[in-house]
Amino acid sequence: MLLRYLLLAVLFFLLYRAFRPYVMAALALPPKPAPKPKPLPPPAAALEEERIGGKLAHEVLGVAKDASPEAVHQAYLKRVREYHPDKTAHLASEIQTLAGERTRDLNRAYEILSKGKSRDA
């Protein structure tokens, strides 16, 4: 009977030694932070009211608020041809910088106005 208790004690000791590193490692881990929720995209109305350099998108492109997608596209192409940085490569660096900023403004305005609208429709 004493031998049974001794063998049982040895078995528990070996099990304790075998599982102790796993238990200690699990206790030492910091809790995982909760995942951050993804921000919601702004509503379409807020996009159209976004200001670019103090102006609304349709003002940057020089079109009416209710202009058709084709008119927006034509105005965009006309303005980009006029202000593209490649057209000002031979001019002073300040003018090239201004042309680059203007082109970025035109691209953003066109992106806002063409979002959700199709030229083919």
Query: What is the amino acid identity at position 45?
Result: A
- What local confidence, expressed as pLDDT, does residue 120 receive? 47
Please answer whether residues 108 and 52 qualify as being in contact, where contact means their C-beta atoms are separated by less than 8 angstroms. yes
What DSSP string runs through 36-73? PPPPPPPPHHHHHT-EETTEEHHHHHT--TT--HHHHH
Indicate the pLDDT class of residue 117, thresholds 50, 70 and 90: low
Share of the chain above pLDDT 90, in %: 30
Residue 85 neighbours by CB distance under 10 Å: 17
Residue 112: per-residue pLDDT: 87
What is the distance between the alpha carbons of residues 84 and 109, in angstroms, rounded to a whole number?
15
Indicate whether 116 pLDDT > 60.
no
pLDDT digits (tens, 9 = 90+) for 28-45: 777 778 888 888 876 666
Both tokens assigned to 112: 């806002």
pLDDT at site 121: 45
Whole-number Å distance between alpha carbons of 42 and 46? 6
